Amino acid sequence: MYELIWANKRKSWILFFAMGIILTGLGMGLGYMLSPNNLHGGIMNGFFIAMAIWGVLSLFSFSSGSSVLLNSSGAHEITKEDDPTLYNVVEEVATAAGTPMPRIYIIDTEALNAFATGTKPENSIIAVTAGLREKLNRNELQAVIAHETGHIYNRDILYLTFAGIMLGAIVILSEVVLRASFFSAISGRSSDNDKKDSGAGAIIQLLVILLAIFAPILTQIFYFSLSRKREYLADATAVNFTRDPNSLADALEKIAQSATPMPQANKITAPMYIATPHLKAGDSDELYATHPPIQKRIAILRALAQGTDYKTYQRVYNEVVGKGNLFPQSVLQNDEKQ
């Protein structure tokens, strides 16, 4: 299974590299717009502004991100004495996965949902809603915990956190660029000798504005695409741990029937949850969907009667979704040998 983790790392770093290029381009474009007559100095200043925004968001997210997410959702930590059954379920799954025992939180809401957070397995946290705890039986609860543990095992939380930071930085910087272009236009900076207003300068400024408009859109598409793919991977990892795809399918069906939203979640934190926290979980293949269609996830799980290995999941995934490879060939080949 370590091959899967390394494959996830490679794919994630390719995405982060692309997002980094966009962020750098926005920063350099901002610097050019602020100092059109000092090309080198302006571009360097813009680059440092971009890195400063990214650095502040990174520092905040990695130092306080989990606390903010837990506090905003109204979660509180519980012990084994508070809920022995839930504690034992989490402990069993952590043992099966070979990961450290995560801390457990309860979110006081009737909504049916759960999420995992923490930048590494050693400081991981699993939070479940009171509604989920009440409505699910032990096997279904174990399946949901296994799904969240799958995110921990696959290092999804770290990658989604990093991608969320990049997305936030790009959104902020894009807004700054657009405001700078607006104020530059109304300030009456016009001179025949002004490099910004020369033919080449005008083209560069237009390209920067277009980048600022489309960068947040493209980055969100990349971010949500990463989130959707990792939900399938977490489902596959969960059934690999529990060998019980039907219980996860049963749990997802109950979650899909829940009409209670979680308004605490936003576009950045929504991918952390097992199902869409804002709306009733339905079928959506839209580019801006944070999760894959829940009915497709259920259909894949129901079709895993022949086996819960990654190779079987990949085959059923292709039949239901019809595209893409979830797992590297090395993982599928290892399944064949076992």
262-271 pLDDT, tens digit each: 877 777 778 8
Phi/psi at 77 (nearest 5 deg)?
Answer: -75, 145
Number of domains into which the chain is organized: 1
> In angstroms, rounded to a whole number, what is the distance separating the alpha carbons of residues 140 and 245?
10
pLDDT band of 157, cuts 50, 70, 90: confident
Residue 109 located in a structural domain = no
Going through the chain in order, the beta strands assigned E by DSSP cover 75-78, 103-107, 114-117, 125-129
Q: Tell me which range, 138-152, 210-224, 312-326, is most confidently predicted by mean pLDDT.
A: 138-152
Across the beta sheet with 114-117, the strand order is 75-78, 103-107, 125-129, 114-117
146's enclosing H/E stretch is helix 138-153
Residue 263 maps to a domain: no
Nearest by Cα to 73 from 126, 34, 23, 21: 126
Q: What integer is the mean pLDDT of 206-227?
A: 89
Q: In 3D, which of 239, 261, 254, 228 has the Cα closest to residue 311?
A: 239
DSSP three-state, residue 336: helix
In this structure, is residue 225 part of a structural domain? no
Among 75-84, 280-289, 313-322, the range with the most confident prediction by mean pLDDT is 75-84
Length of the chain (residues): 338
The pLDDT assigned to 103 comes to 96
Q: Reply yes or no on whether the pLDDT at 187 is more than 90.
A: no
Whole-number percent of the chain with pLDDT over 90: 39
Tell me the residue type at 46.
Answer: G
Helix, strand, coil percentages for the chain (3-state, nearest 5): 70, 5, 25
Which residues lie below 8 Å from residue 137, measured CB to CB, with a gap of 6+? none
**Count of CB atoms situated within 10 Å of the CB of 188:** 7
Specify if 228 maps to a domain. no
Tell me the residue range of the domain where 43 lies. 2-64+158-220
Q: Does a structural domain hold residue 163?
A: yes
**pLDDT computed for residue 8 by the predictor:** 67
Cross-strand bridge partners of residue 107: 75, 129
pLDDT band with cut points at 50, 70 and 90 for residue 153: very high
- Predicted confidence at residue 88, as pLDDT, reads 98
- Residue of 52, 45, 51 whose CA lies nearest to 30: 45
In tens, the pLDDT along 136-151 reads 999 999 999 999 999 9
Rg (alpha carbons) of the chain, rounded to whole number: 23
- The answer to whether residue 179 is domain-embedded is yes
pTM for the full predicted model = 0.84
Question: How does residue 196 score in pLDDT terms, banded at 50, 70 and 90?
Answer: very low
- Residue 204 confidence class, pLDDT cut points 50, 70, 90: confident
Out of 107-121, 159-173, 323-337, least confident range: 323-337
Q: What angle do CA 79, 80, 84 make, to 5 degrees?
A: 135
Amino acid symbol at 307: G
243-250: average pLDDT:
96
Average pLDDT of span 118-133: 93
pLDDT value, residue 35: 80
236 within a domain of the structure (yes/no): no
- Top-confidence range, 48-52, 97-101, 221-225: 97-101
Rounded mean pLDDT of the chain?
A: 84
User: What pLDDT score was predicted for residue 241?
Assistant: 94
Residue 292 reports pLDDT greater than 60: yes
Which of 185-189, 227-231, 328-332 has the highest mean predicted lDDT (pLDDT)? 227-231
Quick check: helix, strand or coil at residue 128? Answer: strand
Q: How much is the average pLDDT of 48-53? A: 89
| Per-residue pLDDT tens over the stretch 11-48 | 777 777 888 889 999 998 888 888 877 777 878 888 88
Provide the annotated active-site residues: 148
Backbone φ/ψ region at 155: left (φ over 0), alpha (ψ -120 to 50), beta = left
Tokens 């479940």 locate to 128
